[in-house]
Amino acid sequence: MDSQGFVSSRATRRLSLEADIVVVGGGLTGVCCAMTAARQGTKVILVQDRPVLGGNASSEVRLWALGATSHMGNNNRWSREGGVINEIMTENVYRNKEGNPVIFDTVLIDLVKAEPNITLLLDTVVYKVCKNADDMIEYVVGYNPVNETKYQLKGAFFADCSGDGLVSYLAGQPYRMGAEDKDTYGEGFTPDKDTYGELLGHTIIFYMKDTGVPVEYFAPEFALKDVARYISKIQNNEYFSIHHHGCKYWWIEYGGRLDTIHDSEEIKHELWKVVYGIWDYIKNSGKFPEMATYTLEWVGTIPGKRESRRMLGLYTLTQQDIIEQRTHYDAVSYGGWAIDLHPSNGVYADGRACNQWHSKGVYQIPYRCYLGDHIANLMFGGRIMSSSHVANGSTRVMCTSASGGQAIGVALALCVKNGRKPIDYVSPELIGELQRVLVETGQYIPLVDASNDANLLDSAKISATSTESFDGYGSNGSLHRLIFSTAALFPVKGDMPSIRLTVHADEPTQLKVELRKSSRPASYTPDITLDNAIIDLVAGEQEITVDFKAAFDDYEYVFVCFMANDAVQLQQSDTLLTGTTTVLNQINLAVSNYGRQDPPAGIGVESFEFWCPLRRPESKNIAFSLTPAIDIYSTGMLRNSLTRPVGATNAWAASLGDKKPELSIEWEEPQTIKSITLFFDTDYDQAMETVQMGHYDNVMPYCVREYSISDDKGNVIAVCSDNHLAVNTIKLAAPITSKALRISVKHPGEQVPASIFHIVIK
């Protein structure tokens, strides 16, 4: 190494880097934005101020990433976010179904580093924005204290996914912080600023470990003393348990009365005070002798932040957009978490730690929420997207934010490719192009079918060796007691078929069965009763038939509801069929689900029941037969771009009896084919919490694992033997010319037929 003498001063190393897009912020929003843009062929610099990716989902904070699925405690069926965030979640379950946060770090790093178009800068804090015009950012400046390097990062476009919106703030973008007055947007759930506060606070969580031998604990001097006196939730079994750790302590929250940006260090120290005080209470109060062998394994060193700045975009999402499920011509993303506001006093507040109010289904998020009209080459996403304080209670969660990140990534990539600016895609004439590309990358946009002539599938004839008919589910011999009302959920077109099933009654009783549907399209809240039947049962086993009078002009999901009667048991099935499931009118306290939502009058939220599935392996379908069988898996389902069940199954499924299922796609004239994208079923109904929860399956049981693709001459052009992802894109080394494609698939299981949602051929 060189040796140098005294000089009056020195400067750290400086590097200038340039890319098409500079993404600031390496949480899940920034990761999805960067990966999506890079896969569209643009050069991306991804800048993260921490040593790992993931933000609140990383091993530094260890909060579970969630979105519309809401712990499977709401009525948002098949609602897990699509695209890159679904790839991340699915990959994490595949590698890390136990929910180890350190392993999740590696999943993110692997996926980002696999993209050759991404330059990744970790430990790099962006602190300066330089403009070459009032409405144009030229470059940002960041510093990495680890390698003592100052970076000048120049881009044609910038994506602010920084959490606090630092780039937007420095660039002069208008923003809001705190709650609006009630008359600003007319939101019924607007909090009282004096009693409830204006901001959500930060959280620090902890993990514990049983060592098997006695462990003493000496609390630091700064630890909160007498926590039971200051924190009323310690006495509340819903919140506090010695068996809780990690995300179960999300309610250790503080800072909502402070500046959640500039007071973050003060907030952190107060949260440490609370965490170490709670552990002191667990270990040394004398109330929990069973904790003698436990040690404090880990405490977060940086807080998980919920809310700070919110940018003022071209459109501000409000409570009404969420609750009324308003549609937008420029929808590019969606949400589904409850409107989840917390008292600003956080852990020191009495009463409930949060107030969650659900909508009847998922809601669209318009493109206009991710950009303004002040900075021409800037978009912003994550919890800083344009929303009211009330709406931010839903949009702030990580998977919803990440879905918006994908929308930003595609939009900016199209700007690079087509020589446009982000605001150009606000145009109704251009938004369709953005929506189409998003859908092709796996993004789901509720109620938006982006099918178009660019897909060669649209001009092809599609046939199959077989098609599954839905005639019910065969019994596995186990029984389900009707402690909670339980419904079979499946789509019907035409007359409602007759339902036959075997029931077991402990005593003579009556079974009430109702036929319900949702009042809103693409939603799964059974708030309309079409017909009902009351059936007299004798003690013992018996067969019953239920005939409802109802008909449907087009495919529509129905709920066949077997109402609660704990003297009755129904037979269960192990058969799993894409786009059908069983739901229960049960309780999930984790998301304020008490079986029914009954809000106070005047807050602008609806009353309705919750009907939710159980988690695997407890989830089973009710065994019954339908006469006649329903055609819900035709090859015609492949033509729309809705790559999940919504309105219909939107899937082709082969017959279980077909040992070698195959799809044939044929054209009258030879076609030049460069790529093929297949969309499989990774069970969008399953919440895939990234940490702590753990999951039964590492591969979703509906997912096709093995397939091959051949041309019209029988040449095999693609083979896969171990798939676990929803979206498989095969980019051919060289284009081929063929009049046909044959796609051979293998059933995922003995009672799970192979299915495909959609195919894009270019």
pLDDT in tens, 396-448: 999 999 999 999 999 999 999 999 999 999 999 999 999 999 999 999 999 99
Confidence of residue 252 (pLDDT cuts 50, 70, 90): very high
Is 29 within 8 Å of 333 (Cβ atoms)?
A: no
Structure tokens given for 126? 């962006």
Residue 241: φ, ψ to 5° = -155, 140
Place of tokens 């595609």: 410
Tens digit of each residue's pLDDT (9 = 90 or more) over 366-406? 999 999 999 999 999 999 999 999 999 999 999 999 999 99
**How high is the pLDDT of residue 454?**
85
> For residue 334, which of 438, 264, 257, 419 has the smallest C-alpha distance?
438
**How high is the pLDDT of residue 4?**
82
Residues 477-487: b if buried by 16+ CB within 10 A, e if exposed: eebbebebbbb
- Three-state SS string across 281-309, please? HHHHCCCCHHHCCEEEEEECCCCECCCCE
> For residue 148, which of 12, 52, 1, 17 has the smallest C-alpha distance?
12
Place of tokens 């993990």: 207
Sign of dihedral through CA atoms 395, 586, 563, 607?
Answer: negative
| Distance (Å) of CA 205 to CA 482, 681, 686 | 38, 34, 25
pTM given for the model: 0.97
Sign of dihedral through CA atoms 90, 94, 98, 101?
Answer: negative
What percent of the chain lies above the pLDDT cut of 90? 96
What's the average model confidence in pLDDT over 144-170? 98
**How high is the pLDDT of residue 1?**
65
Tens digit of each residue's pLDDT (9 = 90 or more) over 271-303? 999 999 999 999 999 999 999 999 999 999 999
* Residue 744 pLDDT > 90: yes
With 0-12 / 13-18 / 19 or more C-beta atoms within 10 angstroms meaning exposed / middle / buried, residue 659 is exposed
CA distance linking residue 380 with residue 25, whole number of Å: 10
What's the average model confidence in pLDDT over 60-72? 96
CA distance linking residue 74 with residue 445, whole number of Å: 19
Tens digit of each residue's pLDDT (9 = 90 or more) over 478-505? 999 999 999 999 999 999 999 999 999 9
Displacement of CA 426 from its chain's centroid (Å): 25
What percent of the chain lies above the pLDDT cut of 70? 100
CA distance linking residue 340 with residue 396, whole number of Å: 9
Place of tokens 């990234």: 690
Is 681 within 8 Å of 703 (Cβ atoms)?
A: yes
The single-letter code of the amino acid at 87 is: E
> For residue 674, which of 455, 516, 420 has the smallest C-alpha distance?
455
Residues 21-59: b if buried by 16+ CB within 10 A, e if exposed: bbbbbbbbbbbbbbbbbbbbebbbbbbbbbebbbbbbbb
* Residue 81 pLDDT > 90: yes
The single-letter code of the amino acid at 453 is: D
Is 693 within 8 Å of 64 (Cβ atoms)?
A: yes
What's the average model confidence in pLDDT over 174-198? 95
